[in-house]
Amino acid sequence: MVNVLITNLPYLLRGAVMTLWLALAVVTLGTLLGTGLGILATGRSRIVRAAITVYIFVLRGIPVLVVMFLGYYAFPALGFRVNAYVAVGVAQIVYVGAFTAEIVRSAILSVHPGQIAAAKSLGMRRGAILREVILPQATCIAIPPLLNNALTAVKQTAYASVVGAWELTYAAREIVERTLASFQIFLGVMAIYFAICYPLSLLARWYEKRLVVSH
Amino acid sequence: MSEYLAQTAVLLASLWPKLVAGFVLTVEIAAAAAPLALVFGLVLLAPRMDARAFVSGPTVAFIELMRNTPLLVQIYLIYFGLPVLGFYPSEFTCGVAGIALQHGAFLVETYRGAIESVSTRQWDAARAIGMGRFTAFRHVILPQALMKILGPLGNQLIVLAKDTSLVSAIGVMELTMTGKLAIERSAASAEVFVAIALFYLAMTTAIGGAVRLLEYRVAERT
């Protein structure tokens, strides 16, 4: 019963490594993009604010799989010949960026306005207020939702297999097609995903509790 | 430019009946999975909050497994795994079951959070002014929990509506699959997915609006 899983484990683990690389790229770049946009979304320019609001609204309202298909077919249509990883990766970064931007924006807005008034009355300039007063407090608030966001992003990398990028889930389907051992293989794959995702879950929950205690 | 727009319009017009059919199936999947997930979450609530470890332990293990693995793999496990056991449910059933199982596992934590967030002092106060247990729950605890739960519940339903797109991976001809086949089998191109994205956006915006309306109603009544 378990033999099939053991003989195919090296192949699955290679898929898991690919999943980890994809997840690392998507989470890092998506969070960076979203943080930048989230900060800009609280700025003074009305046009920039409106543009980012539309970006967040649209991306959050459609499935990530559709965004991936859009990336996969739009790149060649626009004349760029990219491999499946780039197409799927860029789509996921843009998607994760929208969720991150919303988290960062609301974290910044949740900092008490009295803090900003106090900083202004001390004679601090805009840049300094953002850096020294707003961002440190907003970071504390944003960390738990950002970790949950990263968790969702890691799980979403599995959907890349539907579009045609080889990673853990793709590898699992190949093995199942060959061996027909669907139960063992998919349960094994679930265990691998769980090993990656559960620590992230625990970290997010630990941070949430700490935040509640400190308030 | 205008020529391009005209071509795209013709293309989308020719695909329109298929897209609408796909969208209807997407709505059907969501409409079948959402009530199942809501009820499944409720079913898990009692064993999840049970004081005995041999009841709550396995429940927590199941919930965590569902929450920390991709929905796609769960759907694959059901769709490719059940035939091994001698069951042959349809693609539609497998997809709906997968979505309901994962979202039920997320919803039970939402329910728990809302119930636990209503302070026990509210209970004590309601009982102290002479309310019976049922009256206290009906008029004090439930309205407050309901107010707190509607927002997260709405968000979960929006995620559920978007997750129906994963059922395309096991060959159900819903909206996403319709777009993929249109590109593979005809002259359609990436623009189809822009139209599909708008369909999904309309659906999620409608759910979001409905939940906000409900929140407003509940707030008005209490």
Q: Are A58 and A52 in contact (CB under 8 A)?
A: no
Which residues, at least 6 apart from A200, have a Cβ–Cβ distance to it below 8 Å? A147, A150, A151, A154
Rounded to the nearest 10 degrees, the angle between the axes of helix A64-77 and helix B175-185 is: 20
pLDDT band at residue A142, thresholds of 50, 70 and 90? very high
* C-beta pairs of A170-174 under 8 Å, 24+ apart in sequence: A170/A15, A171/A11, A171/A12, A171/A14, A171/A15, A172/A12, A172/A15, A172/B73, A172/B76, A173/B76, A174/A11
Give yes or no for A109 touching B (CB within 8 A): no
Q: Is A190–B189 a contact, with Cβ atoms under 8 angstroms apart?
A: no
Give how many domains chain B has, as a whole number: 1
Mean pLDDT of B95-120: 91
Closest alpha carbon within chain A to B75? A186
Mean pLDDT of B60-89: 95
**Which pLDDT score, from 0 to 100, does residue A214 have?**
67
Give yes or no for B189 touching A (CB within 8 A): yes
Q: Report domain extents, chain A.
A: 3-214
Q: In this structure, which topology does domain A3-214 adopt according to CATH?
A: MetI-like fold (1.10.3720)
- Number of CB atoms found within 10 A of residue B177's CB: 19
Model confidence pLDDT, tens digit, residues B33-54: 999 999 999 999 989 988 899 9
Of B65, B68, B201, the CB nearest to A62: B201
Mean pLDDT of A81-103: 95
Partners of B179 on chain A (C-beta within 8 Å) are 66, 69
Q: Is A193–B69 a contact, with Cβ atoms under 8 angstroms apart?
A: yes
By residue range, what is the domain housing residue B179?
A: 2-221
Query: Distance between the two ends of chain A, CA-based, in angstroms?
Result: 52
**CA–CA distance, A89 with A95 (Å, rounded to integer):** 10
**CA–CA distance, B40 with B42 (Å, rounded to integer):** 5
pLDDT surpassing 70 at residue A113: yes
Question: For the whole model, what pTM was predicted?
Answer: 0.92
- Number of CB atoms found within 10 A of residue B88's CB: 9
Mean pLDDT of B137-161: 89
Of A61, A77, A158, the CB nearest to B205: A61
CATH number at residue B177: 1.10.3720.10
**CA–CA distance, B106 with B97 (Å, rounded to integer):** 14
